[in-house]
């Protein structure tokens, strides 16, 4: 019986999996293989939080495959050489995988496809991660989109995505049990300094965890997504981002589940919420579109003027460290940075605020923030992270204009009006009355004393003056505008 290799990458699920379905087609036996080759991602190998996720997601996938009678073969080493060895061992005649869109991985996969085809293998790649692959959406003149709204309009004009695929009937190759494999724990993916307790408390990596999240979100939260999604103290968003990134659930599956909810009817507010949520899935598509057309997007500003931006000196790294550790003295910023470190995730509104503070008030390069997010986010995604940071910096596609500088105190008053989010993550300020939590340095000395807060001891003084740093950022921006 012919054997097909299913090469697993960031598609850690069984349902709606085109490569797995094609590998199992015509009753072929399937060998699922995960190859650990971090160097092949170049500078963008997984950060620590992503590796933590991967460890647990691989374990969950191994269990699901075992429930279907299939082993998960895990190997470490160069991808092509590892595939070659497995082809030799099993006599496999076909290799299937789902496509990835990180520039270094596109290059690798193209080269591997050519080599395997040359050796006479049937090699097929499939789309499992996107509603519309980056090259399928084009402007009227055949170019790529630089702005989200027309991009999404073009996507919405197309037919709805195909219905998701069921889990195929799966059959293991003969002697599958004799094929050697590592275990997830052999890959050394868990952090050496065990900072991951908060990750484990907040997340369940794997396909079942993804469906659990969607199942919670659809009936409870989706209908009030607008405006609930803007309030970081509330569970107002889906938290599906790491599950989507690792391919534990597909956008097509989410799309279908949301359409079913829409078909049940609802008032105008519910319909608006659903459309807004779908457009966020659209932002994910847009991020992939931009990255595909601009492979240096993670490293270089899309608007080349920003290459000459006069960033602030931070020779000893103290400014960056204060931001990373959530001790800037600006409560909403600190709350966000601490949420990130503790849980591997941060609310989108707060991502925008902490980003703006880093790039505009501290005037540190957006790439420094991007790198920290890359290491600490469980949803770290090359396309979405680059888009987010270039948006914040004002240098990217459909970016916030540079002169729009978030005031973190106003943002806090508006989107955390009860100061709950601040109290949760900056507990040293929880004793302050709500109105003083947003800017404790403005509170009268007696109020601070009554709450047991001494600025500079219990909680830092603000590390910059928000108004003066805003002016300095605008002046720096004026400089590059002239270039």
Ligand X SMILES: Cc1cc2nc3c(=O)[nH]c(=O)nc-3n(C[C@H](O)[C@H](O)[C@H](O)COP(=O)(O)OP(=O)(O)OC[C@H]3O[C@@H](n4cnc5c(N)ncnc54)[C@H](O)[C@@H]3O)c2cc1C
Contact pick of 79, 82, 125, 238 for ligand X (by CB under 6 A): 238
Selected catalytic residue, list 280, 413, 420, 428: 280
- In angstroms, what is the minimal distance from the CB of 243 to ligand X? 8
- Alpha-carbon span 133 to 341, nearest angstrom: 32
Contact pick of 65, 72, 189, 287 for ligand X (by CB under 6 A): 287
DSSP secondary structure, 108-152, as one string: HHHHHHHHHHHTT-EEEEE--S-SS-GGG---TTS---SSHHHHH
| Cα three-residue angle 342-345-351, rounded to 5 degrees | 115
If you compute the radius of gyration of the chain from its CA atoms, what whole number of angstroms results?
24
Selected catalytic residue, list 152, 323, 372, 389: 389
Contact pick of 95, 358, 377, 378 for ligand X (by CB under 6 A): 377
Report the SS3 class of residue 228. Answer: helix
155 binds ligand X (CB under 6 A): no
Selected catalytic residue, list 348, 407, 428, 441: 348
Residue nearest to ligand X according to CB distances in the complex: 388
352 binds ligand X (CB under 6 A): yes
Contact pick of 226, 381, 398, 416 for ligand X (by CB under 6 A): 381
In the residue annotation, 135 being an active-site residue is answered as: no
283 binds ligand X (CB under 6 A): yes
- Alpha-carbon span 347 to 170, nearest angstrom: 39
Sheet holding 94-98, edge to edge: 73-76, 29-36, 3-8, 94-98, 122-126
Contact pick of 384, 422, 423, 463 for ligand X (by CB under 6 A): 384
Cβ proximity to ligand X: between 101 and 459 the closer is: 101
Contact pick of 78, 133, 144, 280 for ligand X (by CB under 6 A): 280
DSSP secondary structure, 394-452, as one string: T-STTPPPTT----HHHHHHHHSTT-HHHHHH-GGGTTS-HHHHS-GGGS-HHHHHHTT
Cα diameter, the chain = 81
- Of 175, 145, 168, the residue nearest 157 (C-alpha): 145
222 binds ligand X (CB under 6 A): no
87 binds ligand X (CB under 6 A): no
Q: Which helix (H) or strand (E) holds 272?
A: helix 268-293
- In angstroms, what is the minimal distance from the CB of 136 to ligand X? 18
For strands 94-98 and 3-8, give the pairing. parallel
392 binds ligand X (CB under 6 A): yes
Cβ proximity to ligand X: between 83 and 244 the closer is: 244
- Alpha-carbon span 395 to 305, nearest angstrom: 8
Binding range to ligand X, per CB under 6 A, among 113-121, 125-133, 198-206, 386-394: 386-394
- Alpha-carbon span 390 to 387, nearest angstrom: 5
44 binds ligand X (CB under 6 A): no
Enumerate the active-site residues: 280, 283, 311, 348, 366, 389
**Which residues of this protein are in contact with ligand X, per CB under 6 A?**
229, 237-241, 244-245, 280-281, 283-284, 287, 348, 351-352, 355, 373, 377, 379-381, 384-385, 387-389, 392
């Amino acid at each position: 019986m012919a054997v097909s290799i299913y090469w697993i990458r960031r598609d850690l699920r069984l349902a709606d999996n085109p490569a797995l379905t094609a590998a199992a087609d015509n009753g072929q036996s399937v060998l699922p293989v995960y190859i650990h080759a971090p160097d092949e991602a170049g500078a963008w190998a997984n950060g620590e939080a992503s590796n933590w996720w991967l460890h647990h997601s691989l374990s969950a996938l191994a269990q699901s495959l075992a429930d279907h009678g299939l082993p998960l073969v895990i190997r470490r080493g160069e991808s092509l050489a590892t595939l070659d060895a497995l082809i030799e061992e099993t006599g496999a005649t076909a290799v299937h995988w789902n496509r990835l869109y990180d520039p270094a991985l596109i290059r690798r996969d193209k080269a591997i496809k050519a080599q395997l085809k040359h050796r006479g293998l049937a090699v097929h790649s499939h789309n499992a991660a996107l509603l519309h692959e980056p090259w399928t959406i084009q402007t009227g003149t055949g170019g790529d989109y630089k702005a989200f709204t027309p991009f999404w309009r073009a996507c919405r004009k197309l037919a709805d995505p195909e219905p998701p695929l069921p889990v195929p009937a799966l059959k293991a190759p003969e002697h599958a049990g004799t094929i050697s494999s590592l275990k997830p724990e052999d890959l050394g993916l868990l952090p050496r300094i065990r900072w991951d307790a908060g990750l484990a408390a907040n997340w369940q990596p794997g396909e079942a965890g993804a469906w659990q999240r969607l199942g919670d979100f659809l009936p409870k939260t989706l209908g009030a997504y607008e405006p609930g999604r803007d309030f970081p103290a509330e569970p107002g968003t889906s938290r599906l981002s790491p599950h989507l990134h690792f391919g534990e659930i597909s956008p097509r599956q989410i799309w279908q589940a949301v359409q079913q909810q829409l078909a049940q009817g609802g008032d105008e507010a519910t319909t608006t919420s659903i459309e807004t949520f779908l457009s966020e899935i659209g932002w994910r598509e847009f991020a992939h579109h931009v990255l595909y057309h601009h492979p240096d997007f993670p490293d270089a500003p899309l608007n080349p003027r920003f290459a000459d931006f006069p960033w602030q000196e931070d020779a000893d790294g103290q400014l960056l460290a204060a931001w990373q550790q959530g001790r800037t003295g600006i409560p909403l910023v600190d709350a966000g940075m601490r949420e990130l470190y503790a849980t591997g995730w941060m609310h989108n509104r707060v991502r925008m605020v902490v980003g703006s503070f880093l790039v505009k008030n501290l005037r540190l390069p957006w790439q420094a923030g991007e790198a920290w997010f890359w290491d600490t986010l469980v949803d770290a995604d090359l396309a979405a992270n680059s888009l987010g940071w270039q948006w914040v910096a004002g240098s990217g596609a459909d970016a916030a204009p540079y002169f729009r500088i978030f005031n973190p105190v106003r943002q806090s008053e508006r989107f955390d009006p009860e100061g709950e989010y601040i109290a949760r993550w900056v507990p040293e300020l929880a004793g302050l009355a709500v109105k003083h939590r947003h800017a404790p340095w403005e509170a009268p000395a007696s109020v601070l004393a009554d709450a047991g807060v001494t600025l500079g001891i219990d909680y830092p003084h603000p590390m910059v003056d928000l108004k003066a740093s805003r002016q300095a950022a605008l002046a720096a921006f004026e400089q590059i505008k002239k270039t």
